[in-house]
Amino acid sequence: MKIKISLVGSSGCGKTTLVHALAYGRTACEGGQPLDVVPLTLRVQGKSVSATLWDPLPTDGMAGFPTLPHKGAAACLVVFDFTARESFRRASFLMQRVLSIEPNIALILVANKCDLAERVSTIAVTHQEVRALARTYGADTCFVSALEQTGLGQLITHLEELLSKADSVPARSVLSLEDLEPARPKPSGCSC
């Protein structure tokens, strides 16, 4: 069984660069397109486990929020740009949406572009604000630079620990035919 891990974040926050860094140990080319689904190997409870990272298209619009990447996922990396306050604000909305789709998902709030924040002294939010937002949603936090590939080991460790602590990985942690079938409308007057 593969563990499904989704990513979500506003456009330009570095999700695809993060996926490349985690899965391949290198950064994405400039303007890289989302990769959809990439393999990743994790150590969960002392065992090597195959995982898939789901990197959907940017989720800036309120309508059309993708549900498929999050359905049945064991964890979600909620990525935001540490140098952009609006990206941080959007992370709260995104965590709400992900939890509405998969209520028991493990969340990690990932502050990306920490290298840029240090280089140009443009930290848009404080570490305390990040941790407070994460506590609101029961999420863990991690501060990384996908481009410089710093903090990635800590992120993987957090992810492995969260998955190890989970009572059980969701039984349906990979794409199934149920995910592709449209919901059937209930007959009128039905109270079920």
- Indicate the pLDDT class of residue 44, thresholds 50, 70 and 90: confident
Q: Report whether pLDDT(175) > 80.
A: no
pLDDT tens for 9-43 read: 988 898 888 988 888 887 665 555 555 788 788 88
Kindly tell me the burial class for residue 180, based on how many C-beta atoms sit within 10 Å of its own C-beta (0-12, 13-18, 19 or more).
Answer: exposed
**Sequence-distant (≥ 6) Cβ neighbours of residue 10 within 8 angstroms:** 58, 59, 60, 80, 81, 84, 86, 87, 90, 91, 94
Structural domains of the chain, ranges and CATH numbers in brackets: 3-176 (3.40.50.300)
The arithmetic mean of pLDDT across residues 51-71, rounded, is 71
